[in-house]
Each structure stands twice: as C-alpha cells, then as structure tokens.
Amino acid sequence: MTKCPRCFHPVDPNNYVWMCVSGRCEAKPDPAASAFTGGPVASGPILQLRQAPGAAPGWAPPDGAACPTCNERTPEVCAMCHYRYPEGWRQAQATCIAMAGARATGKSLYIAVVIKQLEQLGERLGCSVEPATQLTQTNYQTYYEKPLYEERGLMQSTQRADVEGSYQREPLIFSLGLWGGVRRYVVIRDVAGEDLESSASQALHLSFFANADGVFFMFDPLKVSEIRDQLMDLVPSQLRIGGEPKTVLSNVLMSVGIGTPKVAVILSKFDALQALRKVDGSEWSQLMANPGAAYLRDPSMSVRYNDVDGELLHQEVRSLLLKLHAGPLVAAVENPTSGAPIPFRFFAVSALGDSPIGENIHSRGIAPFRCVDPVRWILSPVGVL
C-alpha cells in the first residue's frame, strides 16, 4: 500500500476520489486541501466512490470518472487532502521523508545535494533517479539546483507554509525506477525551520510527520559556542546560525505523536567539525584526527549499503552529540516522552564539503560527505538502493 505524497496518509484501497481540473468548472474553496496545504486552496468539482460492503471479488472502480458539469475526464486525488496523484500511483510504492530542523541547519542544501548523489548512485546500480512530476522538476531546478549548482550560492531561507506561493507546500517526488517489479518513489517534504520553532508546528498541514516513513532531523554543530570559538580562524564566519534545536525536536516529536517513522538525527555541516583537527592541543583535534573513525571516511556511494558501518557511525556520532552538549536531543529520541519507542539512528553529513564564504560556496566547489546514508538507511529494508 502506497501513501499520498502530500499528507503521507496510506491510500485507502476502498475509497476513490476524483477532482475536475479542466478549468471550465467553477473552483470553490476546498477546506480539506487548504488545511493540509497550509494556505487557501480552491478546487473544481469533486467526485467520490467507496467500495460497497460485500462487493464481488475483483471489484475495481471505473478507469477515471467524468465531471458531471463539463464531462471532462478527472484525475484521481487523495481522499484526505485532495492532492492529485501522479499517473499509476496506486500501483506504485512511495517512501515518504519529512525534513526537520531549526533555521539555517542546512535542510535545503542537503536536499539539493542528496538528489544529485542519488542520481549518481542510481547510475552505478543501473536505475534512473528522476523527477516524477513536472512540478517537482520545476521546483527542484528553480529553488535547489540553480541557486547552488549554477549560481554557486546558498539558497534563500525556506518560507513559512502560510506565505503565499511557498514552494515547499508541494512535495518533491522522485522516481527510483523498478525494484522487484514495482515502481518505487521517494517523496521529500521540506519544511521551514520557522514553522517548526513555534506551536504552529501542531497544525494540520504538518501532520504528515506522523505518517512519514522517515524523519530527518538536522542539528547544526555551529550552534555550539565552544565550536564556533575554536573555528574562528579556521573557517569563514557564518552568516546563518541555526535556531534552538531542542525546541524544534520537541515540536517534531509531538507532531509524530504515536506514529512510528524512523528518525535520523543528522549532525550537519560536518566539515566544520573535521576542520577542528587543525586546532593544536585541542581535545577536538585529537577526536577529528582519529584515522580509524567512521566519521572520517565515506563509503556511502558503494553498491551495497553497509549497515555495520552505519551502526558504527551511529555510536560515534552519539558520542559527538553528547560532547556537543546535545544530550537533551539524544535523550529525546532514546527516551521519548510519549513512552513509545522510536526507531532512530545518528548520522554525520556535509552537503558542501567546505564552509561557505558569506552567501557563496567555497572556491574548491562541492564535495558531499555521507549525504546518502540516511536515505539508504530508510530504503534498504525494502530492497531499494
């Protein structure tokens, strides 16, 4: 059973909804779509068909439905949020990932880079990773790829969902090709850190966290003053420093509620910590110069995901987080207040490989470090990538 790309609810096999998109019918306010989108939405006429109890074996709905007003063929939409499914969505399988983190932790940078990494990994594995919808292709190129790879700068901060025209209201849907005879997709929802730093994080348009397959929570080590002080003469001064991570993680876990997504706690901007090996006489320089540490090597683009290496990295990053005074974050996922255990793992990534200079990437270019690890951790149990 697959999930809706917007609200992440499982697609109900007995409930079918279609919506007119011809433009010839009057569009009326759509409360369901508005609630799950985070802004006002108007929709054309909506038709619904639910399988009757005791229906004959093999029952199937009609192949599409005609709008009763304009008689145009209507596409299928989600019964919960009225999101228009891509063609053949019910027969496919989608893995849904929600991005989380305070402001300036590098979520959008990570998305921009990890898609490129997945495309390269797909080539090695003989599959094609590509946008599944025209809107995904347009949004990825406009808001992620062009600013970073063409203009060589940092993306603008992600806008709140309630700002008109916010592009992150729409999911990013990428096809991973056929695996085991089933078409597979990965869906990524980007979320503004500002949305997650307030009580508004409990709003319905962020309820997809509870239904996600994976939640990626990013922690910025430059938030720690001790690290910033030691890096003062080693890396360019950063214009963007993340918000309060503990508050964001608390809000995210409340949004997850009794859901059971796998939670990846990601130590971002890891190149900054690696630079500490140049600080003579520092305890951090010894930690970052350990040649046997998993956080100093990158096997993430290998043909097979190495779960043993992932577990070793998990333990090492846990220790680093404790040393970074992030014990409350570690405790929050190890002993959640809900009382329900959370499947989690710690990761370290660097999207750029070097600290940016102002609003521009380093002249040495982009050298990602372990960016695909969290995605492969989510996908490997289902035999993908």
CATH of residue 288 = 3.40.50.300
What is the pLDDT at residue 46? 92
Report, as an integer, the average pLDDT of 21-35: 93
**Domain contains 320:** yes
What is the pLDDT at residue 96? 98
Q: Are residues 279 and 359 in the same domain?
A: yes
Structural tokens at position 15: 């409930």
**Domain contains 9:** no
Contact 179, 126 (CB under 8 A): no
Residue 115 has pLDDT above 90, yes or no: yes
Q: Between helices 327-334 and 307-323, what is the axis angle to 10°?
A: 130
Q: Are residues 183 and 248 in the same domain?
A: yes
What is the pLDDT at residue 123? 95
Angstrom distance (rounded) from CA 93 to CA 383: 12
Q: What are phi and psi of 44, to 5 degrees?
A: -75, 180
Tell me how many degrees the CA angle 363-366-367 measures, rounded to the nearest 5.
Answer: 125
**Domain contains 7:** no
Q: Are residues 193 and 328 in the same domain?
A: yes
Residue type, 116: K
**Domain contains 256:** yes
Report, as an integer, the average pLDDT of 68-88: 94
What is the pLDDT at residue 240? 52
For the ranges 55-59, 151-155, 258-262, the lowest mean pLDDT is seen at: 55-59
Going by C-beta distance under 8 Å and a sequence separation of 6 or more, which residues neighbour residue 272?
221, 222, 227, 231, 235, 355
**Domain contains 212:** yes
What is the pLDDT at residue 162? 65
Residue 231 has pLDDT above 70, yes or no: no
Greater confidence, 313 or 194? Answer: 313
Q: Are residues 363 and 265 in the same domain?
A: yes
For the ranges 128-132, 200-204, 272-276, the lowest mean pLDDT is seen at: 200-204
Residue 360 has pLDDT above 80, yes or no: no
pLDDT band at 236 (very low <50, low <70, confident <90, very high): low
Percentage of the chain modeled with pLDDT above 90:
58
Q: Are residues 177 and 49 in the same domain?
A: no
What is the pLDDT at residue 335? 92
Contact 239, 245 (CB under 8 A): no
Report, as an integer, the average pLDDT of 161-176: 84
Percentage of the chain modeled with pLDDT above 70:
92
Residue 371 has pLDDT above 90, yes or no: yes
The residue among 72, 87, 102 that closes a domain is 87
| Other beta carbons within 10 Å of 297 | 13
Q: What is the pTM of this model?
A: 0.92
Residue 24 has pLDDT above 90, yes or no: yes
Residue 164 has pLDDT above 70, yes or no: no
pLDDT tens-digit series, residues 45-67 = 999 998 877 777 777 777 778 99
pLDDT band at 313 (very low <50, low <70, confident <90, very high): very high
Complete DSSP assignment for 200-254: GGGSGGGGGGGG-SEEEEEE-GGGSHHHHHHTTTTSPPPS-----HHHHHHHHHH
Residue 226 has pLDDT above 90, yes or no: no
Closest by alpha carbon to 288, among 219, 348, 241, 344? 348
Residue type, 48: Q
Q: Are residues 67 and 102 in the same domain?
A: no
For residue 215, the enclosing domain spans 92-382
Contact 86, 369 (CB under 8 A): no
**Domain contains 128:** yes
pLDDT band at 29 (very low <50, low <70, confident <90, very high): very high
Greater confidence, 365 or 131? Answer: 131
- Which range scores top for mean pLDDT: 159-163, 261-265, 278-282? 261-265
Angstrom distance (rounded) from CA 173 to CA 311: 28
Tell me the Ramachandran region of residue 25: left when phi exceeds 0, alpha when psi lies from -120 to 50, beta otherwise.
beta
Q: Are residues 131 and 227 in the same domain?
A: yes
Residue 113 has pLDDT above 80, yes or no: yes
What is the pLDDT at residue 43? 95
Report, as an integer, the average pLDDT of 208-222: 93
Report, as an integer, the average pLDDT of 82-88: 95
Residue 274 has pLDDT above 70, yes or no: yes
The pLDDT mean for the chain works out to 88
Domain count, the chain: 2
What is the pLDDT at residue 232? 63
Q: Are residues 20 and 51 in the same domain?
A: yes
The residue among 45, 63, 87 that closes a domain is 87
Which regions of the chain does DSSP assign to beta strands (E)? 15-19, 28-29, 42-43, 46-50, 65-66, 73-74, 76-77, 93-101, 130-131, 172-179, 182-189, 214-219, 262-267, 344-348
Greater confidence, 239 or 282? Answer: 282
Q: Are residues 44 and 192 in the same domain?
A: no
Q: Are residues 145 and 234 in the same domain?
A: yes
The residue among 60, 87, 114 that closes a domain is 87
What is the pLDDT at residue 233? 58
Going by C-beta distance under 8 Å and a sequence separation of 6 or more, which residues neighbour residue 6?
36, 37, 78, 81, 83, 170, 171, 189, 208
**Domain contains 1:** no
Q: Are residues 281 and 358 in the same domain?
A: yes
Contact 39, 161 (CB under 8 A): yes
What is the pLDDT at residue 245? 84
pLDDT band at 246 (very low <50, low <70, confident <90, very high): confident
Q: What are phi and psi of 230, to 5 degrees?
A: -70, -25
**Domain contains 330:** yes
What is the pLDDT at residue 103? 84
Going by C-beta distance under 8 Å and a sequence separation of 6 or more, which residues neighbour residue 376?
300, 305, 385
Q: Are residues 282 and 185 in the same domain?
A: yes
